[in-house]
Structure 1
């Protein structure tokens, strides 16, 4: 048995199953989602960058 081919196939099947599971269980509305890149949008950055200085 080809171990490398088996492992690569198993990895791709796992990633595909993870993507299908994520799409099936997510409640994402693309019209309410934040922009992926908000360059020049004027929106303040929010999120979890732990190294940011406090305001």
Structure 2
């Protein structure tokens, strides 16, 4: 009985979040992001945490 209640509450919460999100901003397929986005293609600049330090110390 506990699993049924927990699953029901989880599914109801998920349905509520999807409903609220869809009602706040209706989906627009023309403004949707790409299905598979592997980056913007631009080089990182500024404070990029994954950048290695410059060996010359510049």
Give the shorter-chain TM-score range.
0.5 to 0.7
Moved over 2 A (4+): 50-53
- What is the TM-score normalised by the length of structure 1? 0.57
- What is the TM-score normalised by the length of structure 2? 0.55
Q: What aligned pairs does 1:28-47 form with structure 2 within 5 A after superposition?
A: 28-38=27-37, 44=41
Question: Is 1:23 equivalent to 2:17 in the alignment?
Answer: no
Q: What corresponds to 1:4 in structure 2?
A: 3
Larger Rg: 2
Consecutive unaligned residues of structure 2, counting only runs of 5 or more, are 43-47, 52-58
Write the deviation string for residues 4-40 of structure 1: whole angstroms up to 9, x where unpaired: 111111111000111111100025421122211257x
